[in-house]
Amino acid sequence: MFHRIAILGVGLIGASFARAARKQGLCRHIAGYGRNTENLRRALDMGIIDSFEADPAAACDAADLVLLSSPVGSFIDLAGKIAPGLKKGAVVTDAGSVKGNLVSGIEDLMPSGAHYIGAHPIAGSDRSGIDASHDELFRNALCIITPTIRSDKASLDTVIALWEKIGCRVERMDPFRHDRVFAAVSHMPHVVAFALVNVLHDLDEGFMEYAGQGFRDTTRIAASSPEIWRDISISNRDNLLEMMRAVRREFEIIIRHLETGDAAALEEAFRKAQKLRQEIG
Amino acid sequence: MFHRIAILGVGLIGASFARAARKQGLCRHIAGYGRNTENLRRALDMGIIDSFEADPAAACDAADLVLLSSPVGSFIDLAGKIAPGLKKGAVVTDAGSVKGNLVSGIEDLMPSGAHYIGAHPIAGSDRSGIDASHDELFRNALCIITPTIRSDKASLDTVIALWEKIGCRVERMDPFRHDRVFAAVSHMPHVVAFALVNVLHDLDEGFMEYAGQGFRDTTRIAASSPEIWRDISISNRDNLLEMMRAVRREFEIIIRHLETGDAAALEEAFRKAQKLRQEIG
């Protein structure tokens, strides 16, 4: 399918993508780029990548597919650095959790003959790094593809086929709709989980030892990478702010019910949530 | 260990307690009481209980152990109803998630010769009802026992031995400390989970279909029983209010960081939470 794939950011997602692409026989050579040379050397030793470069443009030299899989805050900088050297017909995709304006920002940087198609595979977990990577990470994962009116049709087909080949169920979505949806179902819950852990600790350090399965589940995603979630929060901050303010409003209502001892209102809110939560399984 | 156990509230906890007690050979007869006759009949058919009564005092007749395992809001009423008929030497314990003033409230109602010792097994889940019950629910679960200066020493020993026999690790704690700890590690996270589900739904009904593993984990406990959590919220509302206000304050800080685009502050908050969360495993 490709001769040479360049993976910019060899972490959980980038390394899992490389492993899945190799398993599916999608290319002959996988080049890696990242800021941490030690990590790249380990990825090379583990057979995840075939070579690595200290410069992103060098990693993309002669690549017909480029994956941006570093924290989303680095995408514009990386796209700018690799753009001049992209070969004719090169396709650039990504695995970022934010789309919106980033998509047109990257599109703007593409040279003539090279094309960017945004993608967001809903995979990954609270774990990060190449040691958590595996070639089936994307199996049955939803992958949102965010084409625009500027998207090259052939490149779009290529990117859809690529993500499907490594196991994803592909769905197209407007980049701005994407950011609202994932601010609500993913970005806001992550920020809430981070906040709950800090609140618990700051209230009383001794509380944490009594954390049971409920607290563990509720805050599992707070073990996620701070850099990744800093970038997502900043890149999608308008939507995230909307969702956080909505949570704050809901909290105000619950706090008021508690203050007035309104058992019926609390039960009604809990019953509504129980029904909705049971529906998603 | 006992001749006759009465279980007031035959749901997930009450039925699991009955099954575990039977498996451990702790008694000859288990009598059940509850508001739902159909449920009691099924518990009888399933061999979970040996008899049931429409009146809590009748269920406790001749019982040497009584377990309160209905929603905590019913405890005072039930204790008042059963107290006059408790036999000499009867021991009353419970499985409620709230202690504090409830403990002295129940102690006040005990007749001479019968004794109450509070207990809170940290077991159960988002599932409820007898179909989810099993005889190993308490295996390795922490059980907080909340004796007071009024506690009868022999009854305390009996209750500790009882919970240990069905598999719990027992720890003693002051009833008021208990309520602060569990408001923080359990009650607040439940209320947050209920709130997140409702917020997501109210923002856009279409969002829910994109809920991934992160959202599912974060809100798993929102599938819990509305009645149980209404009672817990009301019974422990001062502590819960304190915790909810602390979460609200933390949210205010995060919202401010987002508004000002303070990436470094967000990363620092996320890093602190990540470290703490990874520590509890």
The predicted complex's ipTM stands at: 0.93
- Where residue A72 falls among pLDDT bands split at 50, 70, 90? very high
Percent of chain A with pLDDT over 90: 95
Q: What is the pLDDT of residues B141-197, one digit of tens each?
A: 999 999 999 999 999 999 999 999 999 999 999 999 999 999 999 999 999 999 999
Q: Identify the burial level of B268 via C-beta atoms within 10 angstroms of its C-beta, where 0-12 means exposed, 13-18 middle and 19 or more buried.
A: middle
Token pair belonging to B187 = 């009650």
| A positions 142-201 inside 8 Å of B (CB) | 142, 180-182, 184-186, 188-201
Q: What is the pLDDT of residues A97-156, one digit of tens each?
A: 999 999 999 999 999 999 999 999 998 767 889 999 999 999 999 999 999 999 999 999
Question: What pLDDT was estimated at residue B281?
Answer: 87
Question: What pLDDT was estimated at residue B135?
Answer: 96
Residue B163 belongs to what H/E stretch?
helix B153-165
Separation CA A241–CA A191 (nearest Å): 11
Token pair belonging to A221 = 């995603």
Percent of chain A with pLDDT over 70: 100
Closest residue in chain A to residue B256, using alpha carbons only: A241
B131: how many CB neighbours lie within 10 A of its CB?
Answer: 11
| B positions 221-250 inside 8 Å of A (CB) | 221-227, 229-231, 233-234, 237, 240-241, 243-248, 250
Would you identify the CATH topology of the domain B177-280? 6-phosphogluconate dehydrogenase C-terminal fold (1.10.3660)
Token pair belonging to B39 = 């449920």
Residue B125 has pLDDT above 80, yes or no: no
Burial A71-106 (b: 16+ CB within 10 A, else e): bbbbbbebbebbbebbeeebbbbbbbbbbbebbeeb
Q: Domain A4-173's class?
A: alpha beta
A132: how many CB neighbours lie within 10 A of its CB?
Answer: 15
User: Is the Cβ of A260 closer than 8 Å to some Cβ of chain B?
Assistant: no
Sequence-ordered list of residues with C-beta below 8 angstroms from that of A22, at least 6 positions apart, any chain: A30, A135
- Where residue B212 falls among pLDDT bands split at 50, 70, 90? confident
Minimal CA separation from A216 to chain B, in Å: 8
Separation CA B71–CA B76 (nearest Å): 11
Token pair belonging to A184 = 């609500």
Task: Work out the average pLDDT over B78-97.
Answer: 97
Separation CA A86–CA A9 (nearest Å): 17
Beta strands in B87-197, from DSSP E residues, in sequence order: 91-94, 115-116, 119-121, 142-145, 169-172
Question: What pLDDT was estimated at residue A260?
Answer: 98
Query: Between A and B, how many CB-CB pairs are < 8 A?
Result: 266
Please indicate whether, in this complex, the C-beta atoms of A220 and B218 are within 8 angstroms of each other: yes
Task: Work out the average pLDDT over A253-278.
Answer: 97
Residue A115 belongs to what H/E stretch?
strand A115-116
Question: What pLDDT was estimated at residue A263?
Answer: 98
Separation CA A96–CA A106 (nearest Å): 12
Please indicate whether, in this complex, the C-beta atoms of A266 and B234 are within 8 angstroms of each other: yes
* Minimum-distance CB partner of A254 among B216, B225, B244: B244
Separation CA B115–CA B97 (nearest Å): 19
* Minimum-distance CB partner of A221 among B214, B225, B267: B214
Question: What pLDDT was estimated at residue A128?
Answer: 84
Q: Identify the burial level of B172 via C-beta atoms within 10 angstroms of its C-beta, where 0-12 means exposed, 13-18 middle and 19 or more buried.
A: exposed
Task: Work out the average pLDDT over B261-277.
Answer: 97
Please report, as a single letter, which amino acid is at residue B151: S
Percent of chain B with pLDDT over 90: 95
Angle CA(A218)–CA(B246)–CA(B190) in degrees, nearest 5?
30
Closest residue in chain A to residue B274, using alpha carbons only: A223
Minimal CA separation from A28 to chain B, in Å: 33
Domains of chain A, residue spans: 4-173, 177-280
Question: What pLDDT was estimated at residue A124?
Answer: 73
